Every structure is written in structure tokens, then in C-alpha cells.
Chains A and B, each alone.
Chain A
Amino acid sequence: MTEIIRFLIGFFLIVGSFLTLVTAFGLIRLPDVYTRNHAASKSATLGVMCILLATFLFFFLEEGHFNSRLILGIIFIFITAPVAGHLISRAAYNSGVPLWEKSVRDDLKGKQKYEKKNM
């Protein structure tokens, strides 16, 4: 039983740090703000959540110490990370950061026209 638990803890730790590493790669490789935001708002969320879960499992099952703050941390990251991604990309678009030149479509250009028509 303890071996399974240790395996799980190690698994979560490795997956979490791997995802965080991939996020860093994505930030270097991807071409513009919006695509970078994809990497940052998804992989980093799950990576940090996995690391926190592994920490929680380690202290709970190996030391017998139930730390509820780690669970709260997981929940808060889960709720706030997508909102942060949305706000950053929205601020970027509204301050005129262009899309990557190979982008195919941009429907957001028509937003002002749409609003003028429907207000």
C-alpha cells in the first residue's frame, strides 16, 4: 500500500513539473500573445495543481497531517487561472496588440459594428 502511495506521489510530482516545463517551452516557442496565453493558462494550471496535490498526499499519507490549505489552494488556482488568461488576452486585444500574421480569422473586428447595430 505504501508503495502505491509513494508511486502516486512521485507520479503527480513528475507530471506537474513536466507540465510546468512545457509551459515554459510554449512561452518561448509560440508566436504571439494569444497563443502563448493558451499555454500559460492551461498547462501551468494543471501543473501547479498536480504539484500541490502531490504535496497534500505526501503530508496526509506519510506524516498523517491533513492540511486543508493545500486543498483550498488547488480550488483557488482552478477558479482564477482561466479568468486571468481571459483578462490578459482581452487587455492585449483592446490595447491593439496584433494577432500573428498567419492567423486565419478575426471576428472580433466586427464587434463594434455589431454593438452599434444592436444598442
Chain B
Amino acid sequence: MAFQILLNFFLAFLWMFLQVSFTSTSFIIGYILGLIITFAFRRFFNSRFYLWRVFAVISLLLLFLKELILSNISVLKTILKPRLDIKPGIFELPTELKTDWEITLLANLITLTPGTLVVDISYDNKILYIHTLDIPDVDEAVNDIKNTFEKAIMEVSR
């Protein structure tokens, strides 16, 4: 992926040298032309065309923001309810993600999800221990959300 971006920059600079105009506009035009060329030659690269990955990162960021707002609403409800009828607990969640940065990202996402907070991670990076505010109704719903998160993160790293 880094190689594709570097190549794209190289093509943009090539365009600037061909035009003999060193302005930001000609750089942007060259970058867009280079984007078309890298897209046309995408089957010669080992990884995917890098723009798809950029889109995946943006959608992950939007997911982050959405979850942050939803979790705030749920915490608000819990705190301002007159009777404190929560059932907290710690449950374990097996994860399929491998590298460290993916797991960090997943842990951050889970911490920003409604009613969940990562307490610990086992040494072999396979199980996340998650504290939740409400075990009965969250347990299964949360697992569904995890599947969407893991999918979104895999979409970025794959």
C-alpha cells in the first residue's frame, strides 16, 4: 500500500516536471492522473488498489463517531435513571485479529461502544476481557456489534 502511494507521488512529480509548472494545482492534476494510472495497473500490485483501503479507514472513523454518540446516550440513561438497576459483570470475547495494532483498535472501539469497557487482554492476544454495565441484554447484542467491528477492521488491514 505504501508503495502504491509512493508511486502515485512519483507520477505526480513526473507530471509537474513534464509541464514545467511547479504549483500545487499541477501537483493535484498529476496526482489525479497518477491515480487513474495506478488504478489501471492494479493487477500488477500485490495488495489491493489503495483507495479502497482509504475508504475503509474513513468508514471505520465514522463508525467510531457513531458508537461514541450512541454510548453516551446509553450511559446518560443509566446515570439519570432514578433506580440503579444495572447488572455489571466481566465476560470474555475471543477475537480473530492477529497483529497488535488491530487489537488496539478493536479495544478502543469496544471501550467506546455502549456499556462496554476492556479490562484485560490475555497474553496470547486471543481473548479480550470486557466489563459491561448490563450483562443480560447486552451480552448477545454486543457480540453482534463486535462482528461488525472486526469486519470493519479486517477490511482495513486485509
Interface residues, chain A, with chain B CB atoms under 8 Å away: 19, 22, 25-26, 29-32, 34-35, 37-39, 41-43, 45-46, 78-79, 82-83, 85-86, 89-90, 93-94, 99-100, 102-108, 110-111, 114-115, 118-119
Contacts and interface: CB of A to CB of B under 8 A. Distances in A.
B135 to A, nearest CB: 5
B53 to A, nearest CB: 20
A12 to B, nearest CB: 13
Given A22-B80, A37-B117, A38-B133, A99 B88 contact: yes
B6 interface: no
B79 A46 contact: no
Closest 10 CB pairs of A and B: A105-B89, A82-B111, A104-B89, A26-B79, A107-B92, A104-B135, A108-B129, A82-B108, A34-B131, A108-B90
A43 B76 contact: yes
Chain A residues touching B, majority SS: helix
Interface of B: 64, 68-69, 71-72, 75-76, 78-80, 84, 86-92, 107-108, 111-112, 115, 117-120, 122-124, 127, 129, 131, 133, 135-136
Given A85-B117, A86-B111, A90-B119, A107 B68 contact: no
Contacts of A90: 119-120
Contact of A114 (B117, B127, B133): B127
Nearest to A32: B88
A31 to B, nearest CB: 7
Nearest to A94: B120
19 contacts: A29-B84, A32-B88, A34-B117, A34-B119, A38-B117, A39-B79, A41-B111, A41-B117, A43-B72, A45-B68, A79-B108, A82-B107, A82-B111, A86-B118, A89-B117, A89-B131, A103-B89, A104-B89, A111-B127
